[in-house]
Structure 1
């Protein structure tokens, strides 16, 4: 099984090849979740993900014969870019197989690193099978995204850097997809500090490793905003490491991850993808498990689609009450809408949308339901707007 010496050797190979990213305390997040939170900013890597570490460690150990043949990998995102980037740096041919549904921005970015992109299959499993066929047919070296000791050792260097920067960490909270990151980090952390607690986090929609370790049969979903950890088949190598070296596993929901993305954007001014926010999501959902501890989180990646991010931000504003929809019932006579908007303005809220509903309502025919979408300061402010409308004789309520 992988040992600390393998990870230390990987760290030597990675000097000057990847960033030693910052690991610093977030005082605001610490106050909010009840423990000291230290963030490892892996989203600052050149390809915006920790995946570079394992890819670089693997590629630098290829023999001359293997380097001449080139490499092939299967990925819909961060692993693809990590392999493509470091293959380009090392002068290697790289073929990346991606599912046909992969967003165009990820395809073009991977091509931008000099890789040959092959779009094949509608699922990751079909794409992976095709990548193995290409490896066999063209003599390419297959670079697995997680089930490879060289990959796992490279990812484990994250823990070396975290404990060097923050030796007082009590707990590491790490997202799990195939298990490469947590497998490497748990190996390094337990060797350096045997008493440290290692907690794995999966999204409830893709609990493959959780099921494997716990013996449960929770259903697999079809989509998640944490697509970086949406893995259907756990790694053989990584599952064995997790059984021995990971202390606890938790599940988080989509809403927890969305909330964590928005918090990191607002508070830390840093952009993370769904998988990168899973650790903070666990602190949000299970604060009692971490109270009073020094907790290290890995912001594992920052590659998120801008349209998805916009949707997450908007939904976050709704949850916080900063974007609210209210219904005001009134007589359908000239001047009433002006009165309503004036009251809202006096209350200090901003109107985003107005919709009159005359036909699809149970109100009397001479009345109208007016739906307002408001920008507010929060839930208390929304309640104040409603009170002011009611004080002027209007029926008003949240919808």
Structure 2
């Protein structure tokens, strides 16, 4: 475990909540009964920028002196969060995305005021180019998940859930690079954490099996948001020090869950945000009162 990871506690999450409060929305909980079972949905897709990622970006940018120019690499949601946070805080931003990044996310990044650069076939290639740019004076690279301030910021989602519904006994989240899952574990107070990934994007699942972060293949309908090829070292250290259940769901289950969120609740989200609901529908999320984080809606999907 790294020193930086060991220092992250619930206090860091609460400090992040205070830091970002003037800029981030406190998103609502929806209490519903589906298939005869009660479940809470944390509607984080209603967050500014359309996903939870804004929280981590804001906390990282506000944790020290503001940089002149923030640089990021992203499949879409983190880049949009950085672009939005930069606009809110009055700094410049450049966002590198892979060539495969969805047009809907690229369009929104540019609309938020950031300079958008398409580069490479995957996140790793985009990140390498972004890191090179960030070496310039006054520039800073902001990692989407392997940064302690980002992880603490993402943990504010769980802190809000538990403040609004302390009886929640299970928290289920989608996993990309692990920042949201790790942040969720920090204030969880021993509650169950269910980390859900597509079968085609199993970087946390593979890391837990190997006992260390390893490279994983990425191919899924949800890959633009959960497509990290390797779980972050900081999230992995946190997650392996807490009780976390790793669950894989198929693309078919994800699409079915996405469509049911619309049919049952009129919630329209991107595929990754439906992954925890897919696991819950399949009976893979235990607890008397589970809460599923509906993490993002940066998509142009519309029901037929």
Taking structure 1 as the reference length, what is the TM-score of the superposition? 0.71
| 1:10 aligned partner | 16
Q: What residue number does 1:170 align with?
A: 169
RMSD: 1.9
The corresponding residue for 1:127 is 126
Deviation of 1:226 (Å)? 4.7
The aligned runs of 1:237-276 (5 Å cut-off) are 237-276=234-273
Structure with greater proportional helix content: 1
Q: What is aligned with 1:374?
A: none
Describe the superposition over 1:271-321 as per-residue Cα deviations: whole angstroms up to 9, x where unpaired: 11111111111012235x52x611000000011233xx55xx5xxxxxxxx
The CA distance in 2 between the partners of 1:181 and 1:266, in whole Å, is 26
Secondary structure in structure 2 of the residue aligned to 1:128: helix
Q: Deviations over 1:105-133 (max 9, x none)?
A: 32221111111111111211111100001
Tell me the residue number matched to 1:149.
148
Aligned residues: 296
User: Matched residues in 2 for 1:243 and 1:129: separation?
Assistant: 27
TM-score between both structures, scaled by the size of structure 2: 0.92
Which of 193, 200, 210 aligns to 2:195? It is: 200
Q: In the alignment, what sits opposite 1:53?
A: 55
Gaps of 5+ in 2: 1-5
Which of residues 17, 21, 27 in structure 2 aligns to 1:21?
27
Deviation at 1:59, TM superposition (A): 1.0
Deviations 1:322-353 (A, max 9, x none): xxxxxxxxxxxxxxxxxxxxxxxxxxxxxxxx
Q: Which has the higher contact order (CA 8 A, sep 6+)?
A: 2
Q: 1:226 to 1:100 in 2, by over 3 A?
A: closer
CA change 1:270–1:197 in 2 (3 A) is same
SS of the residue corresponding to residue 136 of structure 1 reads coil
Structure 2 counterparts to residues 339-358 of structure 1, below 5 A: none
Confirm or deny: 8 A CA contact 2:276 2:293 kept in the other structure.
Answer: yes
Measured after TM superposition, the shift of residue 20 of structure 1 is 0.6
Contact 1:174/1:279, CA 8 A, preserved across alignment: yes
Paired with 1:124 and 1:83, the residues of 2 have a C-alpha distance of: 16
1:296 partnered with 2:298? no
Structure 1: distance between partners of 2:83 and 2:150:
15
- For residues 122-180 of structure 1, what are the alpha-carbon distances to aligned partners after superposition, in whole Å with 9 as ceiling and x for unaligned? 21111110000111145410000000010000000011110111111111111111010
- Consecutive unaligned residues of structure 1, counting only runs of 5 or more, are 314-399
CA distance in 2, matches of 1:183, 1:109: 27
Answer with 1 or 2: which has the greater Rg. Answer: 1
